[in-house]
Structure formats: structure tokens, C-alpha cells
Structure 1
Amino acid sequence: MKFEKVPCVLMRGGTSRGPFFLESDLPREQAELSHFLLAAMGSPHNLQVDGIGGGNPLTSKVAIVGASTRPGVDVEYLFAQVSIDRAFVDFSPNCGNMLSAVGPFAIEAGLVEAQPGETKVRIFNRNTGVLVEAVVQTPGGCVDYAGQTTIDGVSGTAAPIRLIFRDAMGSKTGALLPTGKVREEIEGVPVSLVDYAVPMVLIHAASVGLAGTETPEALEADADLLARLEILRLEAGRRMGLGDVSQIVVPKLALLSAPRAGGTLTSRYFANSRRCHRGHAVTGALCIAAASLLKGSVAADLAVPDAARPNTFALEHPGGRTQVGLERDASGQLAAASLVRTARRLFEGNVIVPLPAFAA
């Protein structure tokens, strides 16, 4: 069997990790691209032992980056969630953690010219159609990964990367409230169906018999709970206009409860129907923050705003805390949301795949 070498860079973005590819090096047709990514990551296999995946949803992610011809956009980013135990690649969601490494990757790949001090990279996410600005530290015109910023879920310190979401309402459905309702019921459970950066089903943990402080391991071990949550998610997807979502990971789901450590809310966020995030997704944190501003929503009912910092939202999760900055317009509506992540370039070289997997 012959093999093909394809250049890639392994990067940590926020609390996720995966290979970054230049769009020009990969197949363009989605079925061929999926076939290649499965071979590169080693799926389907629970350890992804025959590829470079990490055997966990947070380390089975791929970023594909290319130059953009859109006005006001520097680069375009396509995110791929590669399934571990089945031959499926989901292109429906965005990943805000992986997004935090797109700016540094684009600069070092020569797609964006670095500026003295810091460089703003305007990124169009093809999965959701959302434009995000990433502010990357570039002293002397070079990307600097070293710094004193810490984020929960990652050891050590690194340079800050600020992500600013300016048009994230209705990322997949076209509306902040796809059903037009702030609160409704599914199977007798009150929910809020909200789409800001990612479509989500927000549930008060107590309404399904939980405290909201359970560990991810405990939640994943409760088969009856997972089955019930998936019923709620499937119906939410139908109501949100997403159709049959049984084979994709959106809408995402979060169990919310009151804060315990001085934050605004507590969340248990599900990366897919069987896995609870050990920390929290960036896009999920943004969506919950936006929902907390909607009077009558599940999130707003539980939120404890900080009167001294009304434009700061602090989300407590199993890995610690994620802080979101909120910008409001003159009418008080959410105009933009931002947060700080870190990233690191880990490895660069070639991923080697069987030639039949590379059909371009």
C-alpha cells in the first residue's frame, strides 16, 4: 500500500487539541475530506491508535484554515469533529477553543502579516457563518506563545488571545430564539432553546433530579439520564429547525444551576450525547451568557449577576471558571461577547495516510 504525507501542525487551542491543516493541502469535496480525516485521526477506534487522535472528543478535533476573499475577512476556518467510535465527521458545530489557535496558525503559515505588538486576525467560521476577531500577541512581528495568562483546564501560563464575537446570534438557525419562545417545555421539562455562537438546550439541573454539581464521570455513568437528555435534545433540534439531529452534535445541551463559588452560573456541558465536558466549550459559554440576559429564560432565573461588574459573566464548570465579557448596545441588547483563551504550537510535520484516503 502506498502512503501520502500531508503537512500539518498539532496545536492546543484553549482546552482542546488537534491537527491544523491548510485548506490547499486537503480534498475539497466533503465526502473525500471526511474519509481523509478519519484515516488521519485513526477512527473508528476507541483509542484512535492508528492515527493522531487522542481517543477523547476534546482531542479528536481538526481545524482547516485558508485565505479568504470575503471583504473584511483575513482567513476562513472550517472545524471538524471526528467521531472516535464510528466513521463519521461532524462539520455542523464550531469549536471556540480550537478557534483560539487559528490566529497564531494563520500568522505563522503566512496567511496574515504580523504587526508590531499585537495582530488582529479576522476569522470567518464556515460552520456557522460567524465572524470572529482574534487578537494575537506578536511582539517584534512574531507570534509569542509565552505569557502570564492562565485558563482553567490547562496547566501553566501562556500569552493571552482575545476572541471577540460580533455577529454570533442565530449561528445555525438564524435567530437567537429559534422557536420565538424564551422558555417552553419538552416532555414536561422546562427548557430554553437559544442560538448564540452555537444552538443549545438549556435545562435547570433540578428539573431532571440533579444538583448540578455532579462530576462528568457520574453523569456519564447514568445511562437512564443520558437517554432522557437525548430525547430532549432530539426534540429540541426538531423545534429549532435543525431536523433530525441524531447523527450530529448540535444542538448542544447544558444542565444549569446556581453558582457556588462567586460566579454567575454553574454549568455541566455535554460535548455529545454521551460525554460531559471536563471543562466547558467556548461557544457554549457564550450562548449561556447571552441566555442569562433573556428575562424568563432558564439561565436568567438561575444567574447571580455581579452588580460591581455588570458586563462580566463568570461560568463555573468542572474545570474551574470561564469568564465572558459582554458588550451591549444603546438599548441594552447584546452587541458582542468576548473572552480570553491561550494556545500553543505543539508539533509540526506530516501526517501519513494510506493513499486511498487521499483522493484529491
Structure 2
Amino acid sequence: MTGPTEVRCMLMRGGTSKGAYFLADDLPTEQTVRDELLLRIMGSPDPRQIDGLGGGHPLTSKVAVVSPSAGPEADVDYLFLQVAVDKAEVSDRQNCGNLLAGIGPFAVERGLVRAGTDETSVRIRMVNSGDFATATFPTPDGRADYGGDTEISGVPGSAAAVVIEFPPRKGELLPTGNVRDTVAGIEVTCVDNGMPTVLMPAGALAVTGQEDPTDLEGNRELTARLHDIRLAAGRLMGLGDVTGTTVPKLTLLSAPRHGGAVTTRTFIPTRVHTSIGVLGAASVAAGLRIEGSVAHGIAALPAEGDRLRIEHPSGFTEIESSIEHAPDGGLRARRTAVVRTARKIFDGTVFPVPPTGGRS
């Protein structure tokens, strides 16, 4: 079985990423068949993904699979799949908070959720991790409206706001149990507020943390060290062997330059994010709030309020974050919310590259 020769698909920008959104019922149920089909749809493996929907970068080679929720806690289930660009690999090992911004509107477009007359809130279960989120967005006259005046860094122009709120997570913010760990010779803080993330002072790696992403990607000594750090941190965080995965994320921290709380450069895992992922920003923000983390002496936290501005290569992401002590004495997130935008780019039929052996 090689999967269908044409598939109903919606291409959407979600936050600072772009991906193909599918109903689960429109894809093969068998994972290997589904993944092989998605590789052909996105045009992988090929550095340019010239024969598919992908844009030649991890941020534009993403897939969202949506279905009615299997449980009463959510309206829809959202499975995120990262399709590799230059190799035949599809991973479900992480969430994507950027594509998450498009899940609510997509659910309304496909009739999975009835829209309100002014705005709609959609409860979403993120299948990859089991976490939940609620997305609220405008639906005047019962239709998803993508136009608005909300701007986010990394996206030209403006669009309608999608407010995403995450309920308090049950898991421990510090998966290693420590505020600081020494990994591959440097002190780091391992934090998980929806995305396993390793926070590192940029100066400890002999860079400023203000460099252009391409310069960091071209620093072979740095990327080799980061590879070692990621593998060691993955084991410490209980993720096992992360050689073939994109988690944990690695985020360099340096002092803010434009009035924010901190400057970031995030590796995914070897390419540098041109902005920052929503869930990655949530983990960074929580890490900044933890007393004694490696952000101490680097971050400039506001005197009051929960809102933090996380600076990144193309601007900033504003996120509301607070933490608290759990009954067992550990730390947990109390509130996490972020404003994103999303836009429907096309809705129609995608024709995957035929399987090896011929063209149609």
C-alpha cells in the first residue's frame, strides 16, 4: 500500500512557521504508510523540497494532523509531525506551538467545532505530549477571520490575534530535579514547560548570543559542542538517546538589547531558529523565573507583572509566564499564555510525488 494519489489539504501559516494541515481521516491510518506519503507531499528528502510543499527549512516543513478529540477534556486532538528536509524522516517526538496557532481556525474550517458569532475558543489536546491548550480567535458571523491588526515578529504585516493559553502543567519544570546541571563542561538549566529545553549562557560557549543565525550555523566548533551537550542533556532529562530527534531544544541566553527580558538563539537542533517557537519561548520564560537558573545575571526581569519579552533574531515574542511551588516541593508552571496569529494560505488538494518507480 502506497497511500492515496491525492489528499485534501490546507496550507497555513501558524505563528512563524508554515505547514500542511490534514484531517486524520484523510491520511492513511498505518504510521509507516502515512509518513512515507507525507515525505512525498512535502518533497523530502531534498534540500530545496522543490517537488513538494516544503520550503527547504524545518520551519516550513511541518504537518498538523487534526481529529475530533478522543476525550472530554478537549474539542480536537492535534498531532504534530516534523518532516525532515534532507532525509527521509518524520518525527512525532515534539510539539509545535507555532502550528498550534492554526489548529482552532482549521477545526472551524473543517466543521469539527461550531464557531461562535463573535469569537470561538477551541480546546486542543496536543497528542505528542498529552498537554492541553485553548485557542481563542475571532469568528464574526460564524466564520474564521484571519484579518486583523496584530503583528508578531518574524511575520510581515498583521493578522487576527489568536490567544493561546496553556493550563498549569502537571509535570516538573526541572526534569533533572536540579536548577543547574553541568553538562559537557558548562552549567545549564534544563527546563520543560511544554518543550524540553536546555538554557545556556552564550558566553560559556565563546559566542555573544547576538550573532546572525547563519554565522552560528557555520561555527563548526560550536555546533560540535552543542551536539555533545544535547546528547548528554537528553539523557539527564529522561529523554533517552536523542541522536535522531529534535529535542531537547538548545537555547543560548544573552543580555537583552531592545528592552526585553533576554536575547535568545535556539538550535533546532543544528539549524538556528529565525525567531523562537511558542513552546520553546514558554520554557525559556519559565526558566527565567526560576531562582538560581543560568539566566541569573543575564536576564532583565520586569519589576512586576507576568509578561516577558523574549528577544530573538527577527524581533521578539511576548509571553505571560508565572511559576509556583507544587505541593511536593517542586516547581511547576502556574500560567502561560501567548498571542500569535495564523492565516489560511490555500485549501484544496495536494498531489504527492508518485512512489519510486514512475511518474503519473
Q: TM-score range by the shorter chain?
A: over 0.9
Q: Tell me whether 1:162 sits opposite 2:158 in the alignment.
A: no
Find 1:223's aligned residue among 220, 224, 232: 220
- The 3 A distance-change label for structure 1 pair 185 and 5 is same
Answer with 319-328 or 73-82: which moved more.
Answer: 319-328
Residues 190 and 198, structure 2, Cα contact 8 Å, conserved in 1: yes
Residues 291 and 300, structure 1, Cα contact 8 Å, conserved in 2: no
- The 3 A distance-change label for structure 1 pair 50 and 330 is closer
- The 3 A distance-change label for structure 1 pair 248 and 196 is same
- Counterpart of 1:324? 319
Structure 1, unaligned runs of 5 or more: none
Looking at structure 2, the residues matched to 260 and 31 of structure 1 have their Cα atoms a distance apart, in angstroms, of: 46
What is the deviation of 1:2? 10
What is the deviation of 1:333? 6.0
Matched residue type, 1:191: V
- Counterpart of 2:289? 293
Matched residue type, 1:31: T
- Counterpart of 2:279? 283
Offset from partner CA, 1:200-257 (integer Å, 9 cap, x none): 1110000011111011011011111101101000000011111110100000100001
Matched residue type, 1:345: K
- Counterpart of 1:209? 206
Query: 1:86 aligns to what SS in structure 2?
Result: coil
Answer with 297-306 or 213-222: which moved more.
Answer: 297-306
Offset from partner CA, 1:83-136 (integer Å, 9 cap, x none): 011110111111111000000000110000001211110000001111000001
Residues 131 and 167, structure 1, Cα contact 8 Å, conserved in 2: no
Looking at structure 2, the residues matched to 330 and 128 of structure 1 have their Cα atoms a distance apart, in angstroms, of: 22
What is the deviation of 1:56? 0.7
Looking at structure 1, the residues matched to 353 and 194 of structure 2 have their Cα atoms a distance apart, in angstroms, of: 36
- The 3 A distance-change label for structure 1 pair 169 and 83 is farther
- Counterpart of 1:348? 347
User: How do residues 201-280 of structure 1 correspond to structure 2 at under 5 angstroms?
Assistant: 201-272=198-269, 274-280=270-276
Query: 1:298 aligns to what SS in structure 2?
Result: coil
For these two proteins, the number of residue pairs brought into alignment is 351
Provide the alpha-carbon RMSD of the alignment: 1.8
What is the deviation of 1:71? 1.1
Looking at structure 2, the residues matched to 56 and 321 of structure 1 have their Cα atoms a distance apart, in angstroms, of: 21
- The 3 A distance-change label for structure 1 pair 235 and 193 is same
- Counterpart of 2:50? 49
Residues 181 and 189, structure 2, Cα contact 8 Å, conserved in 1: yes
Residues 178 and 194, structure 1, Cα contact 8 Å, conserved in 2: yes
User: How do residues 26-65 of structure 1 correspond to structure 2 at under 5 angstroms?
Assistant: 26-65=27-66
What is the deviation of 1:328? 5.5
Matched residue type, 2:313: P
Residues 200 and 251, structure 1, Cα contact 8 Å, conserved in 2: yes
Looking at structure 2, the residues matched to 84 and 149 of structure 1 have their Cα atoms a distance apart, in angstroms, of: 31
Query: 2:36 aligns to what SS in structure 1?
Result: helix
Q: Tell me whether 1:12 sits opposite 2:16 in the alignment.
A: no
What is the deviation of 1:156? 0.6
Query: 1:101 aligns to what SS in structure 2?
Result: helix
Looking at structure 1, the residues matched to 301 and 45 of structure 2 have their Cα atoms a distance apart, in angstroms, of: 44
Looking at structure 2, the residues matched to 215 and 250 of structure 1 have their Cα atoms a distance apart, in angstroms, of: 22
Residues 150 and 160, structure 2, Cα contact 8 Å, conserved in 1: yes
Looking at structure 1, the residues matched to 164 and 117 of structure 2 have their Cα atoms a distance apart, in angstroms, of: 19
Matched residue type, 1:306: P
Looking at structure 1, the residues matched to 214 and 355 of structure 2 have their Cα atoms a distance apart, in angstroms, of: 38
Looking at structure 2, the residues matched to 75 and 298 of structure 1 have their Cα atoms a distance apart, in angstroms, of: 37
What is the deviation of 1:43? 0.5
Q: Tell me whether 1:102 sits opposite 2:98 in the alignment.
A: no
Matched residue type, 2:352: V
- Counterpart of 1:188? 185
Looking at structure 2, the residues matched to 204 and 291 of structure 1 have their Cα atoms a distance apart, in angstroms, of: 12
- The 3 A distance-change label for structure 1 pair 224 and 330 is closer
Looking at structure 2, the residues matched to 334 and 4 of structure 1 have their Cα atoms a distance apart, in angstroms, of: 45
Instruction: Provide the TM-score with structure 2 as the length reference.
Output: 0.94
Instruction: Provide the TM-score with structure 1 as the length reference.
Output: 0.94
Residues 3 and 354, structure 1, Cα contact 8 Å, conserved in 2: no
What is the deviation of 1:3? 6.5
User: How do residues 126-137 of structure 1 correspond to structure 2 at under 5 angstroms?
Assistant: 126-137=127-138
What is the deviation of 1:157? 0.9
Query: 1:34 aligns to what SS in structure 2?
Result: helix
Answer with 88-97 or 323-332: which moved more.
Answer: 323-332
Matched residue type, 1:334: A
What is the deviation of 1:167? 3.6
